[in-house]
Structure 1
Amino acid sequence: MTSCASDTYSPREVNSRLQELGFREHLAQTIYGTVAFFVRRQNDDEAGSLLLHGVASDATTWTPMLQCAAELGVDLGNLVLVDLPCFGKSENRLDTMWIPEVGDMLISEMTTLGFLRVRLIGHSMGGFLALDMAARFHEHATSVHVAAGSYFAILNTIKRPIRNIFRNPGTALLWNSYWLLCLMGRTGTMMVRTAAAVLGPRVVIAPFVAKPTKLRRQIAEVMLSQLNPRGVVLTARNGPAYDAVTTWGSIRVPLVAVFGQKDRMVTRWDAEELSQVNPSARIAWVDDAGHMLIVERPAAVLRALGL
């Protein structure tokens, strides 16, 4: 793969107009209500990639990486993006986000769309979901590729918010602060946006990126506009009872996990834990990248994920 402008830090803005990238919108009626899928078919094959976004995101978060892939001449095949329930254009009438139920819904809709073999690609919370789906849907999942998505430290913090400060202090302090803001709902969102108006959006999102002053301002603004306290709270409810060791250790399809060298939320400890529970996992690192590595270094992530 050749080098190009895409290899610079934060090379592309987030594009909210997915139709410009060849996607058509598919509104599925699910147990959650209407869930928005975005489909780009390159061929009539039954294989497709499902891209799962993280919290404070929606399907459009993948667009810098998709634009870099096009610039680099990379054919990603059939693609499906989704706004997960409660995020973006999607509803969540159940007021729950149980990971197995979300996975069931996603696989059902992928089958409806004609994709019986699914390559799972996830970022952050979406990586958590992708790993769970890869463990449970052996007949459908062909491989799983996650960026900042091995969530051991975050899960430990959710289960033991005080005790985990001594094991993973950076993750615990950052997650607990984020969690408290989300518990405050609209008040927390107003506090964050007021801080952004006074200090600037890049200062507010600085803990989640490697080079806040070099991140495109538009990306920082998009991240803040997509703050979703309810979605974070519902997703975090999976944490106390979730057995990551057993579940992710049972994955038998090819597994690639990519981490940002400067990620303060999902760290080297998470990579080591994943290697222990699933020794077949391939671990890769991206320089000059934090937790939002898919918008910071999209071309490098594309390579590291093996896409």
Structure 2
Amino acid sequence: MEKATFSGMEPINGTDVYYEYYKHESSRDTLVLLHGFLSSTFSYRRLIPLLQTEFNVVSLDLPPFGKSGKSPKFVYSYKNLADTVIRLSEKLGFEKVTLVGHSMGGQIVLNVAHSKPDLVDQAVLLCSSGYMKRMKPHIIFSSYIPFFHLYVKLYLQRSGVKQNLKNVVYDHSMINDEMLYGYLSPFLEDDIFRALTRMIRDREGDMPSAALKRIETPCLLIWGEHDRVVPLHIGKRLNKDLKNSKLVVLKDTGHLVPEERPEDVLQHIRSFMETAGVQESV
């Protein structure tokens, strides 16, 4: 993958947000990529080289993931993360963007489209989370126990990066050392686990059907047929609740569609944007 035109940290909402900006020499369309839970910009490593040949691309690490700040004082709610995306977009001078969100990132895309519809030309939801409830009260209460972050760390260590990757990709042969280290490296320091403990308290439930039905932004939903993390029936339900949406199902594909099927994702995004009349010829 080519190096970003520029990258760096931007102080927003009391934390540092890491982003990479791949600027196209002529395109007027900007795609902002939001990754999923326990992930980072790394999950778009196969998709960005394809997108950047046609669009301006910004990929950011949502706090507290990747290289972004991990402050235990930051509010890790979807509402505040959506506001963080909005503020970064405004700081970079974007008036209109296409938001692309994978898994949890898709839920944040929906929050942005709901709260700041004028910013979002269209939304692309890659196996977006949906209809999840807030953490149960006893788990939220337990998060206040001293050193609870160590329990979070132990839980994730027991599940293991390799096992988690096997759960999110259909073809296990694509899992190699580079992939393992890329998803493991952000979790080698304890700060992330303290922040995840705060996220347990802050994360509200996913947007309810009533709120989803008020979103008028054109939405493209791309799903893996064999997604075991956010099953296809969630995509079908979202497709019904979002009044201006289209669902595409990729065969022989799991949850991690940006890694598994980047060429197909590019093709569907391009077709979707052309149909919506937002991609201008130069």
TM-score by length of 2: 0.79
Match of 1:128 in 2: 107
CA distance in structure 2 between the aligned counterparts of 1:221 and 1:26, rounded to whole angstroms: 22
Identify the match of residue 182 of structure 2 among 222, 225, 240.
222
Q: Which amino acid aligns with 1:21?
A: K
CA distance in structure 2 between the aligned counterparts of 1:112 and 1:123, rounded to whole angstroms: 23
Q: CA deviation at 1:40?
A: 1.9
Provide closer, same or farther for how the CA distance between residues 272 and 302 of structure 1 changes in structure 2, counting only shifts above 3 A. same
Q: Is the 8 A contact 2:107 2:206 kept in 1?
A: no
Which runs of no fewer than 5 residues in structure 1 stay unpaired? 1-14, 162-180
**Over residues 107-148 of structure 1, what are the superposed CA-to-partner deviations in whole Å (9 max), with x where a residue is unaligned?**
122112111111111111111101111111111111000101
Alignment of 1:94-243 (within 5 A): 94-152=73-131, 155-156=132-133, 158=135, 184-193=151-160, 201=162, 203-227=163-187, 229=193, 234-235=198-199, 237=201, 240-243=204-207
Provide closer, same or farther for how the CA distance between residues 46 and 104 of structure 1 changes in structure 2, counting only shifts above 3 A. farther
Q: Aligned residue pairs: how many?
A: 257
Q: CA deviation at 1:303?
A: 2.1
Provide closer, same or farther for how the CA distance between residues 35 and 46 of structure 1 changes in structure 2, counting only shifts above 3 A. same
Identify the match of residue 90 of structure 1 among 64, 68, 76.
68
CA distance in structure 2 between the aligned counterparts of 1:229 and 1:127, rounded to whole angstroms: 23
Q: Is the 8 A contact 1:55 1:232 kept in 2?
A: no
CA distance in structure 1 between the aligned counterparts of 2:223 and 2:159, rounded to whole angstroms: 26
Match of 1:291 in 2: 255
Identify the match of residue 59 of structure 1 among 34, 41, 49.
41
Q: Taking every aligned residue pair, what percent have the same amino acid on both sides?
A: 21
Local SS of the residue matching 1:60? helix
Q: Which amino acid aligns with 2:240?
A: Q
Please report the RMSD computed on the Cα atoms of aligned residues, expressed in angstroms. Answer: 2.9
Q: CA deviation at 1:290?
A: 0.8
Which runs of no fewer than 5 residues in structure 2 stay unpaired? 139-147, 274-282
Match of 2:215 in 1: 251
Local SS of the residue matching 2:110? helix
Provide closer, same or farther for how the CA distance between residues 244 and 230 of structure 1 changes in structure 2, counting only shifts above 3 A. farther
CA distance in structure 2 between the aligned counterparts of 1:64 and 1:106, rounded to whole angstroms: 22
**Over residues 197-239 of structure 1, what are the superposed CA-to-partner deviations in whole Å (9 max), with x where a residue is unaligned?**
xxxx3x4521211111343442233223345555655555566
Q: Is the 8 A contact 1:159 1:239 kept in 2?
A: no
**Over residues 135-187 of structure 1, what are the superposed CA-to-partner deviations in whole Å (9 max), with x where a residue is unaligned?**
111111110001011422xx0485699xxxxxxxxxxxxxxxxxxx9882222
Q: Is the 8 A contact 1:47 1:115 kept in 2?
A: no
CA distance in structure 2 between the aligned counterparts of 1:30 and 1:255, rounded to whole angstroms: 27
Match of 2:7 in 1: 25
In terms of mean alpha carbon deviation, does 209-218 or 54-63 score higher? 209-218
Local SS of the residue matching 1:184? helix
CA distance in structure 2 between the aligned counterparts of 1:220 and 1:41, rounded to whole angstroms: 29
Provide closer, same or farther for how the CA distance between residues 44 and 110 of structure 1 changes in structure 2, counting only shifts above 3 A. farther
Local SS of the residue matching 1:288? coil
In terms of mean alpha carbon deviation, does 218-227 or 265-274 score higher? 218-227
Provide closer, same or farther for how the CA distance between residues 238 and 142 of structure 1 changes in structure 2, counting only shifts above 3 A. farther
Alignment of 1:248-287 (within 5 A): 248-287=212-251
CA distance in structure 1 between the aligned counterparts of 2:150 and 2:67, rounded to whole angstroms: 22
TM-score by length of 1: 0.73
Q: Which amino acid aligns with 1:303?
A: Q
Provide closer, same or farther for how the CA distance between residues 92 and 182 of structure 1 changes in structure 2, counting only shifts above 3 A. closer
Local SS of the residue matching 1:213? helix
